[in-house]
Structure 1
Amino acid sequence: MQRRDFLRYTSLTLAQAATTRLLPAQMPMAQDHGSTPAPEGKADYTLHIAPVTVELAPERVISTIGYNGLTPGPVLRMKEGKPITVDVINSTDVPELVHWHGLLIPAEVDGVEEEATPFVPPQGRRRYQFTPRPAGSRWYHSHAMAFSDLHKGAYTGQFGFLHIDSGNDPGQYDQEIFLALRDWEPFFTTFMDDTDEEGQNDPQLEKPAVLNTAPNGLEVNSMTYSINDKSLGAGEPIRVKEGQRILLHLLNASAIENRRIALPGHKFRVIALDGNPVPSPQLVETLFLGAGERIDATVEMTNPGVWILGATEDPIRAAGLGIVVEYANQHHPPQWIKPSTLRWDYAIFSAPEGTHPTPPPDHTFDMTFEKIPSGSGKFNTWLVNGKPYPHENEFVLQQGARYRLIFRNRTDDAHPMHLHRHQLELTEINGRKTSGIIKDTVVVPYYGRASVDFTANQPGLTLFHCHIQQHMDFGFKALFRYV
């Protein structure tokens, strides 16, 4: 039986409605959760790592590791430029790390083993102190390695939204809603139903002339999904009124796959990518988020009814990746209509030609991505420039210099590439020039090419990796160093 068929037959009971637990835009933070006060005094926030149970649906309850008894963890709201402290209490028996994704902070608090951030010890605690910046939608999550253990790292429920307020938010919306796309109960398989090619019509600039046809190694898959902590068919809907404007903060918190979603009868006005305002906001019918990416979008509520916001793939949506949007005084069953297009294109958000000139880089790193099927025993090995991690002294940065990274993806997967502690300006996607699009995670299309620029202004070790956990674990990362 094919994966799509299996999903269709095992998930029908979840497809009758579409609801979820909504995360409030401002959640009060408990400070201790039964722990003793930190010797340094009371922290601004406390995260307590411990086992949690998650009722995705009445007939499906899972056990995982989360923050403060929740998954996603609490929404952390911070003010840009105001120093904060976070106490992390680890009530598990394994060392942990909390990574502050998208923040410009020192390596010692970035929450990454490769950058020499200290672990939060088992049954211990650690205090993080940093000044949050830049403003926008960020997030936090475990950065522990998992390898063949699907109960560790990003496969667990250790993730949550972090929003940094600039103080200049005009507040031109009626509701602010945080939605995390998530898969659960991962398993190993040789069969992957990859949908990265959907909606992509670009030339495959990096497709090898001769493809590697060796049998693929085991990869990670899932058949259980949710938005926040509820699968399609459980929890509360998003309740709206005609004429309202809704601000959505969307996060792909998956450790496994990129995701595509739509809201029938409505369009998303994309205003920010990875928390950074785009030069040219655009109306789109479909959103595409690589693992680790965020999108901020407003939606004008002008089409009364009861609609499903969810995955564009029928079996994925039926297996839980969806949520109801319910207008006032509308009580009929939720409706799904296939979007007219699945097209997603970073380039449409670029600054108009000539309005945002991109300075030339001082240095360029050419980076070729390849896969060795079953190169790590049962699993695939991932290479950058012919080698797996760590790339000692290969990517050395000079303070203040501008660098261009050219990503050449010679694999049949679209890879969400993340550079820690720096901001990336997308300068090219599959041969099309762009400018002004600032991100921290960029999806490189399968057999495609992308280029990004950044300024080396964050001294210290800096990790670069694919944000799909298994790819990172099995070689798909590199360590950047400053002179």
Structure 2
Amino acid sequence: MIKRRDLLKISGMGFAQAALMQFPLPGQSKSPALLEAASESKADYTLRISPVAVELDRSHILSTTGYNGSAPGPVLRMREGKTVTVEVINDTDTPELVHWHGMLIPSEVDGTEEEGSPFVPPHGRYRFQLTPGPAGSRWYHSHAMAMDDLHKGSFTGQFGFVYVDGGNDSGRYDQELFLALRDWEPFFTSTMEDDDDDTHNDPVLEKPSTVNTDPNGLEVGSMIYSINDKALGSGEPIRVREGQRLLIHFLNASAIENRRIALAGHKMRVIALDGNPVPTPRDVDAVFLGAGERVDVIVEMVHPGVWILGATEKMIREAGLGVIVEYAGQHKQPQWVDPPRFTWDYTIFGDPNARPSTPEMTIETIFEKIPGGAGKFNSWLVNGKPYPHEREFVLQEGTRYRLVMRNRTDDAHPMHLHRHLWELSEINGKKTAGIVKDTVVVPYYGRAIVDFTADQPGLSLFHCHLQQHMDYGFKALFRYG
């Protein structure tokens, strides 16, 4: 076995320190010495945004926008706490933003318009510094708004992994894989069936007594899928040997849907959620990922054969969301076995003996959908109104908050708070502790409660990670008083 990083611990949970922008916001000062040093030295990482062709299989080559000539972009490995210089070059005709999802960094470099991060101008470049952290699986992606243009924002191929090494090196595995679940060529539809949100059997604690039955506006769908840049059956299989241990970093890079995935014939031991080690690792038959979520698993390769790792929904899997896993010396037809059906439950990974810290203040949020509220599309409300909410959510630095999310809609929403980590306290009435995340799926007509400490001064965007929902009002800006 090869000894590698230990994903069962976070090294240094302290938050990242200040970062440096090349161009400050109005009213901010800059350090000429640091800027000069950054401009004269070679960047540690360069991301070039440009048109790319993605060959999902021999019969399907699509055109999109990606990073460094590919989609997904390169895996970026960084060291926790070691400041790096990043240069983003934009070879397209539209302004762009690169968001560092799950990083605890200042709002100026977080990569969102709402927080005041500068755009990378068309045919221009932007250089900045950030201090990576915390350790674990993070990712980067476009945060540009798309609205009714399905060739912008996270509908494109602008996404990639960031892995932040924490310094511990006692983990044991033989192969490390970074696998992004992805849908392509999105389209508007009025008949989309949300069969894979996995929460329709949960308690409907927040279902209104009177449900709005107005016709829905157009939603976004897809019929073409892949893991990374290849559809099932195309490209090289994942080649393994009996007795090996695989470390797999899963990412749901979809802008459209939550997903469930399994490796036929094998259990997966969940060791981290959103890059943060779980208190109680568990073996599961399948993992469920909301858009933007990451799940790290260890798989013991103890069942020789040729298997399929893919979506549990037959239609989605056969439309490309899968990859073949082939043991050495095996030459069989790839096999799929439906895993037992079960409801994904965050709380099984919590610490049964721990109690959540007592919050000092509570923030209540209610999510609502207005069918057709934005013309052809639905609109989304937080506490009865769409973005921007002015100064409704004002945090006091150092205060421990409880954020209650009440979902009064018929969708499961992957909610993300930028620049903070939160601890899951309750999901649909089931209490837990010790599970640290940056994105949580609030169930269909359900409720999720998280606790977080306000220790990242600046602006922080809170939003649903489904692109269309965010674009049409499903976001709010948290600010510090």
Distance 2:215 2:40 in 1: 54
Structure-1 residue corresponding to 2:411: 413
What is the CA deviation profile of residues 372-400 of structure 1, one whole-angstrom value per residue up to 9, with x for unaligned ones? 00000000000001100011110000000
Match of 2:245 in 1: 245
Secondary structure of 1:172's counterpart equals strand
Q: Is the partner of 1:317 in helix, strand or coil? A: helix
Q: Assess if the C-alpha contact under 8 Å between 1:286 and 1:343 holds in 2.
A: no
Partner-residue secondary structure (3-state), 1:347:
helix
Partner AA of 1:40 in structure 2: E
Task: Describe the shift of the 1:211–1:196 C-alpha distance in structure 2 as closer, same or farther (beyond 3 A).
Answer: farther
The whole-number CA distance in structure 2 between the counterparts of 1:389 and 1:463 is 10
Write the distance in 2 (CA, Å) between the matches of 1:270 and 1:276.
11
Q: Indicate the residue corresponding to 2:352 in structure 1.
A: 352
2:452 maps to a residue whose letter is F
User: Which residues of 2 match residues 162-241 of structure 1 at below 5 A?
Assistant: 162-196=162-196, 198=198, 201-241=201-241
Give the letter aligned to residue 127 of structure 1: R
Q: d(CA) in 1 for partners of 2:53 and 2:196?
A: 31
Bigger mean CA deviation after superposition, 341-350 or 177-186: 341-350
Structure 2 residue runs without a partner (length 5+): 6-36
Aligned residue in 1 for 2:316:
316
CA contact (8 A) 2:199 2:443 kept: no
Q: For each residue in 1:15-56, what CA deviation from the matched residue of structure 2 results, as whole angstroms up to 9, or x when unmatched?
A: xxxxxxxxxx9xxxxxxxxxxx98432100100000000000
3-state SS of 2:51 partner? strand
How far residue 167 of structure 1 moved from its aligned partner, in angstroms, is 1.0
Do the aligned residues in 2 keep the contact of 1:264 with 1:307 (CA within 8 Å)? yes
Distance 1:343 1:204 in 2: 14
Deviations 1:52-90, CA, capped at 9 Å, x for gaps: 000000000000000000111000000000000110000
Query: 1:96 maps to which residue?
Result: 96
Amino acid at match of 1:297: V
The within-5 A match list for 1:4-23 is: none
Q: 1-side partners of 2:420 and 2:197: how far apart? A: 29
TM-superposed CA distance for 1:197, in Å, is 5.2
**Secondary structure of the structure 2 residue equivalent to 1:435:** coil
Tell me how far 1:200 sits from its aligned partner.
5.2
Count of equivalent residues: 446
Q: Distance in 2 between matches of 1:89 and 1:38?
A: 15
Q: Which runs of 5+ in 1 are unaligned?
A: 1-24, 26-36
* Alignment TM-score, normalising by the size of structure 1: 0.91
Query: Kindly tell me: are residues 149 and 476 of structure 1, through their superposed partners in 2, closer, same or farther at Cα, counting changes over 3 Å?
Result: same
> AA paired with 2:451?
D
Determine if contact 1:196/1:414 at 8 Å carries over to the other structure: no
8 Å CA contact 2:95, 2:121 repeated in 1:
yes
| Match of residue 450 from structure 1 | 448
The structure 1 segments of at least 4 consecutive aligned residues displaced by more than 6 Å after TM superposition are: none
Instruction: Measure, in 2, the Cα distance between the counterparts of 1:171 and 1:125.
Output: 38
Give the aligned partner of residue 434 of structure 2: 436
CA contact (8 A) 2:182 2:226 kept: yes
**1:145 CA drift (Å):** 0.2
Q: Residue 13 of structure 1 aligns with which residue?
A: none
Sort the Cα spacing of 1:131 and 1:39 in 2 relative to 1 into closer, same or farther, 3 A: closer
CA contact (8 A) 1:38 1:87 kept: no
Counterpart contact for 2:415–2:439, Cα < 8 Å: yes
Query: How do residues 26-105 of structure 1 correspond to structure 2 at under 5 angstroms?
Result: 39-105=39-105
The two structures, once aligned, show a CA RMSD in angstroms of: 1.3
**Which residue of structure 2 lines up, in the alignment, with residue 259 of structure 1?**
259
Do structure 1's residue 482 and structure 2's residue 480 form an aligned pair? yes
Partners of 1:112 and 1:250 lie apart in 2 by 24
Which secondary structure state, in structure 1, belongs to the residue aligned with residue 55 of structure 2?
strand
Contact 1:199/1:341 (CA < 8 Å) preserved in 2? Answer: no
User: Displacement, 1:171?
Assistant: 3.1
Q: Is the 8 A contact 1:177 1:248 kept in 2?
A: yes
- Post-superposition CA distance 1:78-116 (Å, at most 9, x none): 000000011000000100000000000000000000000
Which amino acid in the other structure matches residue 81 of structure 1?
A: G
Q: By how many angstroms is 1:357 displaced?
A: 2.5
Please name the residue that 2:469 is paired with. 471
Quote how far apart the aligned CAs of 1:199 are: 6.3
Shift of 1:214: 0.4
In 2 relative to 1, CA 224–480 (structure 1 residues): closer, same or farther, beyond 3 Å?
Answer: same
**Secondary structure, aligned partner of 1:271:** strand
Q: Is the 8 A contact 2:356 2:433 kept in 1?
A: yes
CA contact (8 A) 1:200 1:343 kept: no
Give the CA deviation at 1:201.
3.5
CA distance in 1, matches of 2:39, 2:161: 27
Distance in 2 between residues matched to 1:343 and 1:206, nearest whole Å: 18
% identity of equivalent residues: 72
Q: Distance in 2 between matches of 1:41 and 1:136?
A: 27
Deviations 1:202-229 (A, max 9, x none): 2110011111110000000000000000
Corresponding letter in the other structure for 2:337: I
Where 2:226 maps in the other structure, the secondary structure is strand
- Rounded to whole Å, the distance in 2 between the matches of 1:298 and 1:238 is 15
Report what 2:30 is aligned to. Answer: none
Is 1:330 matched up with 2:330?
A: yes
Residue 372 (structure 1) aligned with residue 370 (structure 2): yes
Q: Distance in 2 between matches of 1:266 and 1:322?
A: 15
User: What SS is found at the alignment partner of 1:115?
Assistant: coil
